[in-house]
Amino acid sequence: MIVLAYIALGLVAGFTGSLVGLGGGTLIVPGLTLLFGVPMKTAVACSMVAVVANSVAGSTVHLRTGIVNIRLALALGTTTTLGALMGGLIAVQIDPRWQYGLFAVVALYMVYAMKPRTASGTSPGESATTLRSEFYDPALGQPVQYGVRHLPVGLVSTILAGNVAALLGIGGGMVNVPIMSQILGVPIKAAVGTSILMNGLTGATAAIVYYGHNLIVPTLAIPVAAGAAVGAQVASRLVGVAKGSVLRMSFRVFMLLIALEMGIRVFA
Amino acid sequence: MQEKTQLYRWAYTATWIGFGFSVVILLAGCAVSLLSDGALPSSVLPVGDALLAALRADGAGLISVGLFSLLVTPLVTVVASIIALAVARDAKGVLAGLGVSLMMVLSFLLRN
Cα dist. A24→A9, A226, B42, B43, B44 in Å? 10, 11, 23, 23, 23
Q: What is the largest CA-CA distance in chain A?
A: 56
- Please return the burial class of A37, using the count of CB atoms within 10 Å of its CB with bins 0-12, 13-18 and 19+: exposed
* Closest Cα in chain A to B97: A74
- In angstroms, the separation between the Cα of residue B112 and the nearest Cα of chain A is 5
Q: In this structure, which long-range contacts are made by residues B2-8, counting pairs with CB atoms below 8 Å and at least 24 apart in sequence? A: B3/B84, B3/B87, B3/B88, B3/B90, B4/A66, B4/A133, B6/B84, B6/B87, B6/B88, B7/A70, B7/B81, B7/B84, B7/B85, B7/B88, B8/A63, B8/A64, B8/A66, B8/A68, B8/A70
Could B107 and A82 be called an inter-chain contact, meaning their C-beta atoms sit closer than 8 Å?
no
Per-residue pLDDT averaged across A4-13, rounded? 91
Q: With residue A37 as reference, give the H or E element that holds it.
A: none
Could you read off the pLDDT of A77-127 as tens digits, one per residue?
999 999 999 999 999 999 989 988 988 998 888 788 767 655 444 555 566
Q: Give the pLDDT score at A22.
A: 67
The span from the CA of A247 to the CA of A18, in Å, is 11
Q: Give the pLDDT score at A121.
A: 44
- The beta-carbon neighbor of B12 closest among A53, A63, A219 is A63
- DSSP state, A67? -
Whether the CB-CB separation of A96 and A176 falls below 8 Å is answered with: no
Could A218 and B67 be called an inter-chain contact, meaning their C-beta atoms sit closer than 8 Å?
yes
ipTM: 0.93
Backbone angles phi, psi at B48, to 5 degrees: -60, -50
The span from the CA of A173 to the CA of A196, in Å, is 7
Question: Average model confidence (pLDDT) for chain A?
Answer: 84
Q: Give the pLDDT score at A257.
A: 83
Residue A129, classed as helix, strand or coil, is coil
Give which of B100, B101, B104, B105 to mutate to test A binding, by max A Cβ within 10 Å.
B100
Could you read off the pLDDT of B39-70 as tens digits, one per residue?
899 899 999 999 999 999 999 999 999 999 99
The span from the CA of A65 to the CA of B9, in Å, is 10
Q: Per-residue DSSP letters for A192-216? A: HHHHHHHHHHHHHHHHHHHHHTT--
* A88 lies within 8 A of chain B by CB: yes
Residue A240, classed as helix, strand or coil, is coil
Could A82 and B72 be called an inter-chain contact, meaning their C-beta atoms sit closer than 8 Å?
no
Give which of B63, B69, B87, B103 to mutate to test A binding, by max A Cβ within 10 Å.
B103
Per-residue pLDDT averaged across A44-61, rounded? 90
Confidence grade of residue B77 (pLDDT, cut at 50, 70, 90): very high
- The beta-carbon neighbor of B70 closest among A52, A63, A66 is A52
Q: Is the pLDDT of residue B93 over 50?
A: yes
Length in residues, chain B? 112
Q: With residue A259 as reference, give the H or E element that holds it.
A: helix A244-267
Integer Rg of chain B from CA = 17
B37-64 CB burial, b ≥16 within 10 A, e <16: eeebbeebbebeebeebbeeebbbbbbb
The span from the CA of B12 to the CA of B28, in Å, is 24
Count other C-beta atoms under 10 Å from residue A234's C-beta. Answer: 15
Within chain B, residue ranges assigned H as helices are 2-36, 47-55, 59-87, 91-109
Give which of B1, B19, B107 to mutate to test A binding, by max A Cβ within 10 Å.
B107
Per-residue pLDDT averaged across A242-265, rounded? 77
Q: With residue A142 as reference, give the H or E element that holds it.
A: strand A142-148
